[in-house]
Structure 1
């Protein structure tokens, strides 16, 4: 049974990712088709947008830990909402590009803050620790799927509403934070949990402390893993569309894969995490397994000649990501010292954003200069390698 804190967090996460799924497909099309700029200009603008989002990710973590948890979330949503309102009114070039940076900065701050609140909720509910991260990841995918499904008709009907609706969504999030901030902080839960934690128990388990050097090695391994896996995963969002078109498939076939991904995640993730948590109690082992499954999905792509093989590859990827993506922030939260949740969660979102920013460009270079087969082979090898590297992480276990 979800408490009020988790319900409001899930709602905010769905709305935030609905905007992400809504706006990402629009940017390139709007810049090239409506503003009549080149693909190079569009790519450069989106690279800057990704850069400002990464800056927001970093700032969000620092502000969350050192300034104010609630005000950080309010600031991020306010900045992004105002940016979208201005774009709805002034969507000409280069004003659009400048306002897009404002939106990216605000969304980056808000994204890290939402992840950090998730980590706090997980610490306040130790009996549901991993389930909370799993639910948040599933809700994020529901939001992205809803946004992706609705954007096409709205974009064709009205440019104003295309950018005004995201602003409305973020103002809704603002109202939730301003009116239910104490619930999001989990003040009552935290008070009860702290009171209970002071009671001596013969079964109480003490975490094994890590040295600073060991902790740094852990963080480096995790950050490299996040970067590599998103460099690979971003190929599905970008260069794979060209590969499938070259194989005689259509854009409808390509977009349908993501509907299959979203629908199957709703079924697969609860099943996977129910069994995987029992079989592999250490989070690092779960991540290594998930990465192995994700990497293997790329083996099928070089020889794929019919649509069924692409569906199979996507289903394998979905199983792997359902294990990997919610577990990495859970592991980072496990390492985070008191009062550093925002900073530690920012590692995940910053390196994930960096992978998403660099992936399409690096992938296109490899595919153009060598071949798609080499691209898929390199992704497979790299993901498997970082999966093995995760086994070297010294996890905070219990004795």
Structure 2
């Protein structure tokens, strides 16, 4: 991999490690330390996610106008200023304001990181985005683990630790990203589009694909909310539940050689890769719907992890391949905002379904969502292929 990509990988890992100090403990802090209800805690998370969606779209467009270096510095600057404020004033209502602004700042950063990764290693294809994806999960694992340790000692140190990690990220960006050149003149596409394909056709294809991507995220994050609550009802301990996510992170990092072998044998195209990923997701939820023992949920988590390893890096790769020259950031902004939007919707959908119809209905609905995602994956590039076919048949 190019040196520039390694710098992006390290920066992403540090960035996510910092944010992972705080977000897993957000609900606990608001409920237990600030004395607010769980509903209020959920509302604060929604504000953070909504701000991140706006930041994704703004950051993606800004990347296309002023470049990745300045955009990333702006996002880090906004997040760092908010975290300094959060470190000094983390009472109510200051907490809700600073936490929301942090979401906006971090949202600006992510599309640029992905767009730059695709630009600095074009020949790497999905490998570049997979590397960024692995770095994110490594950051989540390290940050969540260290966050729990720091919080046990002093919850206030969580804010300081988060701030220090973002300061390190800022230094990496200042000294590491300034020299990264982003030249999209030779960009290629998995679909081999020609000049007859208009930009709106590519945008339409991405939006159709992102419908399924959003549904996948809505379903996936139920493991962190409604399914988490369900495990408590069937007497799975918190330690065992936490172990599921430890295994998830370890598999993502350590399972890369197996993933490479899988790609060589079974995933000839990104479309096939995403369809297989959705089928694996369905299998994971079928397992979870029919077990009550820890070993069953462990099996479901292992299956789920292999599904996300196929889908999560693939969609940014397709976005990079679809993006017209000069619009790479905007397309990555759409992808990142879709993922954030899916995480935001799950706060309402899962709880409402379980409260009204029970956990069994939730699993049925989630599996239906995956089938819809398979359909959108199959048809997302149909208009592009139609235009290509017409262009080829035109008389010269």
Query: Which residue among 321, 339, 356 is the counterpart of 1:334?
Result: 321
Matched, 1:113 2:108: no
1:182 aligns to what SS in structure 2?
coil
Matched, 1:145 2:141: yes
Tell me the alpha carbon deviations over residues 331-371 of structure 1, each in whole angstroms, 9 at most, x when there is no partner: 11000011111100011111110110111321010011001
**2:255 aligns to what?**
268
**2:155 aligns to what?**
159
Query: Which residue among 233, 237, 240 is the counterpart of 1:246?
Result: 233
Matched, 1:186 2:208: no
More displaced stretch, 347-356 vs 383-392: 383-392
For structure 2, the residue ranges without an aligned partner over 5 or more in a row are none
Task: State the 1:212 CA deviation.
Answer: 4.7
Tell me the alpha carbon deviations over residues 161-219 of structure 1, each in whole angstroms, 9 at most, x when there is no partner: 21111111111111122112234x236xx5xx97xx69xxxxxx992333456424412
Query: Which residue among 201, 207, 217 is the counterpart of 2:192?
Result: 207
2:312 aligns to what SS in structure 1?
helix
Tell me the alpha carbon deviations over residues 295-333 of structure 1, each in whole angstroms, 9 at most, x when there is no partner: 221011222121111011001101111111101100110
Matched, 1:320 2:307: yes
List structure 1 runs of 4+ shifted beyond 6 angstroms: 395-399
More displaced stretch, 217-226 vs 91-100: 217-226
For structure 1, the residue ranges without an aligned partner over 5 or more in a row are 199-204
For 1:318 and 1:249, locate their aligned partners in 2 and report how far apart those are by CA, in whole Å: 20
8 A Cα contact 1:122 1:133, kept in partner: no
Task: State the 1:252 CA deviation.
Answer: 1.1
**2:131 aligns to what?**
135
Matched, 1:89 2:88: yes
Matched, 1:172 2:168: yes
Task: State the 1:119 CA deviation.
Answer: 2.1
Tell me the alpha carbon deviations over residues 132-160 of structure 1, each in whole angstroms, 9 at most, x when there is no partner: 11111111111100011111120122233
8 A Cα contact 1:268 1:322, kept in partner: no
For 1:42 and 1:164, locate their aligned partners in 2 and report how far apart those are by CA, in whole Å: 21
Distance 1:8 1:101, change over 3 A: same
RMSD: 2.2
Distance 1:251 1:85, change over 3 A: same
Question: Number of residues paired by the alignment?
Answer: 382
Matched, 1:352 2:339: yes
1:299 aligns to what SS in structure 2?
helix
**2:3 aligns to what?**
4
Task: State the 1:266 CA deviation.
Answer: 1.9
1:79 aligns to what SS in structure 2?
helix
**1:394 aligns to what?**
381
**1:201 aligns to what?**
none
TM-score (norm 2): 0.91
Task: State the 1:278 CA deviation.
Answer: 4.8
**1:39 aligns to what?**
38
Query: Which residue among 331, 348, 362 is the counterpart of 1:361?
Result: 348
**2:67 aligns to what?**
68
**1:52 aligns to what?**
51
